[in-house]
Structure 1
Amino acid sequence: MSGSTRTRKVVVTQRFFDTATCEFLAAHHCETIIAELPPGKGDGDLPETALQDLLADADGWIVGHAHVTDSLLRVLPRLQVIARRGVGYERVDVEAVRRHGKVATIAVGGNDACVADHALALMLAVAHRLREGQARLGAGDWSIPMGTDLYRKTVGIVGLGRIGRGVVQRLRGFEAHILVCTPTPDEAYGRANGIRYTDLDTLLHESDIVSLHAPLTPETRFIINAAAIEKMKPSAIVINTARGGLVDDRALLAALELGRLRGVGLDVFVSESDPYYRDVSSALIALPQVVATPHSGASTVEGLDRTNLIAAQSIVDVLSGATPATARVVADGRTLPNQHNKGET
């Protein structure tokens, strides 16, 4: 690497890191160190001091949900690259990455298919009341909870990135009527796939199912709030496999308790980043018309293998002095003067 074959240390603070990716890293002169995480905890639950200890000698870091902060990077001068095993990077301080002369990447293309599958699974599970049916059977009650079709329903998709497009492709098999709200409509794609672009209010008013696939930004935070829910049909279903902050879960809970929505499928929660909402998450999960999963949409064997390898490829690229594919790079401070000592006291 850069004329040297010395072994570089790559620390992985995620579970389910496959052997083939470890072998790929080894073939490129990288030693893989997989951190031991506390039972039931992820790297996002580790205090910064623990991360400092784990990463003290790391050249590369494959990270899950830990916060990548200025104060952490400041004490890790050897660390060159931070590779997210995923595509969201709201917990990465990209300006700090640049300031400290490091590179941050995401695993674009690794989990698109499995998250799109998961969104469809939640749509079907909520529409067919699968949770309620199994609960009744478990109680010895064989009465039938009456569901509703996904077939030929109107589905509104908020955000049309890679996962949103994957959901579109899957919905075509259900002959769904697809509405899309996105800031940058691709008219050719819309014509080819029979979708109709519209504003958010129209989408909320007309949709039988609203599925969220937008990034979390200040503009999209709580895009589904009490006012938005009031515009929806009482028979509507909300699906969120994107980011918890897109939906005000407190407003969602109130609407479900009042019968203002048919049901909800959630893979993400506000409480993942805001402890104030933990009681709200617990109340949502307890409702029979809610199908909830623990942010597991991207966690299939195949999906994790793909994202592991993409993250590892980005690590190898950076440590060898190359640049990862443009779509994978969210911050590259190598072209800037290293400023991490400026202004420090």
Structure 2
Amino acid sequence: MSSSLPRVVVTQRFFDDRSIGFLRANGCEVEIAQLPPGRADGDLDQAELEALLAGAAGWVVGHARVTRELLQALPALRVISRRGVGYERVDLAAARDLGRVVAIAAGGNDASVADHALGMMLALARRLRESQADMQAGRWAILMGSDLYQKTVGVIGLGRIGKSLVRRLSGFDAEVLVHTTRPDAAYAEASGVTYVGLPELLERSDHVSIHAPLTAQTRFLIDAAALVRMKPGAFLINTARGGLVQDADLLAALQAGRLGGAGLDVFMSESDPTFAEVTKQLLALPNVVATPHAGASSREGLDRTNMIASQSVVAVLRGEDPAPECVVADGRRSG
């Protein structure tokens, strides 16, 4: 016998019991998709997604591509709620045209990603990966690293994660340069940051950390020309999106010894398999610290984003509005 409750499908792993309980307590039937081993929802094709989501009213999604064709094949689907903050894989125009709501988990992973970026800065500056590899090989010589203390850090993008990183850098007495399309004089005065153009940020920064969204305007924001501008020996951190950095150009700059190293949580090869060999070569470099798009994946961060995503689903299924900062498309307002 089929349930009369609205069905909510979760295609993300690590969805906690508290969030499941919240959905059930608010009248939802919850289904946690059983994905094939080694595959995430971003690896599923349209036919697989259609089979999982047939008849569902709500979808808590990770990195699956949400296309117009998929939405047209799922007429019962009312809300797509991302457990994350990026939405470049969702066709927002199609969602609006078809009367759907798309939400993000705004504010849930700020602290987690900022911690991750800061951790990468420290790991690179103090050469932790290289030191451990040497010790494992029986070489206990000290590798000379550098402090983060009183260094100049460039932050590209000043959304919630960028601002979280700025707060953390205050404990290192760092000079913080910020490049953003929306400078806020009051924020700069309160936080002590300095707004600069991208060329100046690259030329002056000891560490450059990227926290911008991926758009047509920001794609390959850091390419060969930008990398040449960076201070020799500087470190590049990307915990935002693959595609903001031209990974092949970054590989060439690292191989040439221009940069001190790179901290990478995201890669071009996540969306473009032709970059797989570039990623492989980046991972092999001793001065690259890498993680598999895991910056937001702390236990606490996932619990927060799970709940925010669930709250948006419940709001829409009740005919209400999710938190304004979470809504990126609302087709209910069309016409």
Percent sequence identity is 62
Displacement of 1:109 in angstroms is 0.5
Matched, 1:259 2:257: yes
Q: Aligned residue for 1:340?
A: none
Provide the residue aligned with 2:311 in structure 1: 313
SS in 2 for 1:142: coil
Query: What are the residue-to-residue correspondences of 1:88-237 with 2, within 5 Å?
Result: 88-237=86-235
Match of residue 63, structure 1, among 52, 61, 64? 61
Q: Aligned equivalents of 1:143 and 1:57: distance in 2?
A: 62
Q: Is the 8 A contact 1:262 1:289 kept in 2?
A: yes
CA deviation map 1:190-210 (0-9, x unaligned):
111111100000000000010
Aligned-partner SS, 1:121: helix
Letter in 1 for 2:12: Q
Q: Which amino acid aligns with 1:50?
A: E
| Aligned mates of 2:275, 2:76 — CA distance in 1 | 37
Matched, 1:16 2:18: no
Q: Is the 8 A contact 1:6 1:29 kept in 2?
A: no
Structure 1 portions without partners, runs of 5+: 338-345
CA distance in 2, matches of 1:336, 1:122: 44
CA distance in 2, matches of 1:181, 1:34: 40
Length-normalised TM-score, structure 2: 0.98
Q: Does 1:327 align with 2:325?
A: yes
Conserved in 2, the CA contact under 8 Å of 1:179 and 1:197? yes
Distance, in Å, in 1 between the alignment partners of 2:31 and 2:57 is 11
Name the CA distance, whole Å, in 2 between partners of 1:32 and 1:109. 24
- The letter of the residue matching 1:316 is V
| Offset, 1:39 | 1.6
CA distance in structure 2 between the aligned counterparts of 1:164 and 1:45, rounded to whole angstroms: 29
Show CA shifts across 1:192-246 (max 9, x none): 1111100000000000010000111111111111001111111100000001111
Runs of 4+ in 1 over 2 A off after TM superposition: none
- What amino acid maps onto 2:173 in structure 1? E
Pairwise CA RMSD: 1.0
Alignment-mate amino acid for residue 83 of structure 2: R
> What SS class does the counterpart of residue 315 from structure 1 fall into?
helix
Number of the residue aligned with 1:283: 281
Q: Deviations over 1:274-314 (max 9, x none)?
A: 11111101100110000000000000111000000000000
TM-score normalized by the length of structure 1: 0.95
Please state how far the C-alpha of 1:329 moved relative to its aligned partner. 0.6
Match of 2:266 in 1: 268
Contact 1:123–1:239 (CA under 8 A) maintained in structure 2: yes
* 1:76 corresponds to: 74
Distance 2:310 2:192 in 1: 38
